[in-house]
Amino acid sequence: MKPYVICHMFSSLDGKIKQTIWGLKDHHKYFEEPAAKIKADAWLVGRTTMQEFCSKRKYKLTTPKTTIAKADFVAQQPAKKYCVVMDPSGKCFWDTNMVTTEHVIEVLTEKVSSAYLQHLRSKNVSYIFGGKTTIDLSLILEKLNRLFGIKRIRIDGGGHVNGSFLKAGLIDEMSLVLAPIADGTSGALSVFEVEKGYSKRMATHFTLQSVKRIYGDYLWLRYVVKR
């Protein structure tokens, strides 16, 4: 079964997502507080976004004596909520298998080494394989449901992860916190980074579910995808 997918983002009026020049105090709250109100068993981010939460240490990997099979690993652990990272080459290192209250699941490809898998196992971090060299998004959603019981998942960015789920037609709902700010930086990251230039792909349409005015002049918009 495919989990229900909600993409949640915080953007400027022009759809930009990096807050470098926004000058906000407490900038995390605009994303985190509405996110906490969305019912979900897991949140998923790209490798770049996860850098904020994983270890800042540079681990020295050692190759194990026996090769570790490229097979999914479900760690024994008590948490019922999960955070998932799309990390095809195994670039995130972990001091613990938790980000606050969520158990870490790495989404990998078979490009990763046994040494990296040993690192994940030594920290009791779960991992699943999404393909040989690229990640099949439908496959990993199905595995997240079957192996971890995830029924609703929040995709929390960044732009490239959102774009890949959009392109694959796997997003069911959009939750957007819109800041009353125009960023105006040409080429800066936007909510959905799919591809350069126009292809034959058609844009995705949504139906408005709710609008809430929050933090004074901010809007929290909830949409479902039109199929």
Ligand X SMILES: NC(=O)c1ccc[n+]([C@@H]2O[C@H](COP(=O)([O-])OP(=O)(O)OC[C@H]3O[C@@H](n4cnc5c(N)ncnc54)[C@H](OP(=O)(O)O)[C@@H]3O)[C@@H](O)[C@H]2O)c1
Interacting residue ranges for ligand X, rule: CB under 6 A? 9-11, 17-18, 31, 45-49, 86, 88-89, 91, 135, 156-161, 164, 189, 193
Q: How far is the CB of 135 from ligand X (least distance, A)?
A: 4
* Closer residue to ligand X in complex, CB, 4/43: 43
Give the helix/strand (H/E) hosting 114: helix 114-122
Instruction: Tell me the chain's radius of gyration from C-alpha atoms.
Output: 18
Q: How far is the CB of 167 from ligand X (least distance, A)?
A: 9
Q: How far is the CB of 202 from ligand X (least distance, A)?
A: 20
* Closer residue to ligand X in complex, CB, 11/126: 11
* Closer residue to ligand X in complex, CB, 3/88: 88
Residue at 15: amino acid letter: G
* Closer residue to ligand X in complex, CB, 36/76: 36
If you write DSSP's letter for every residue of 134-180 in order, what string do you get? S--HHHHHHHHHHHH---EEEE---HHHHHHHHHTT---EEEEEEPS
- What does the block give as tokens for 69? 């099979």
Q: How far is the CB of 65 from ligand X (least distance, A)?
A: 28
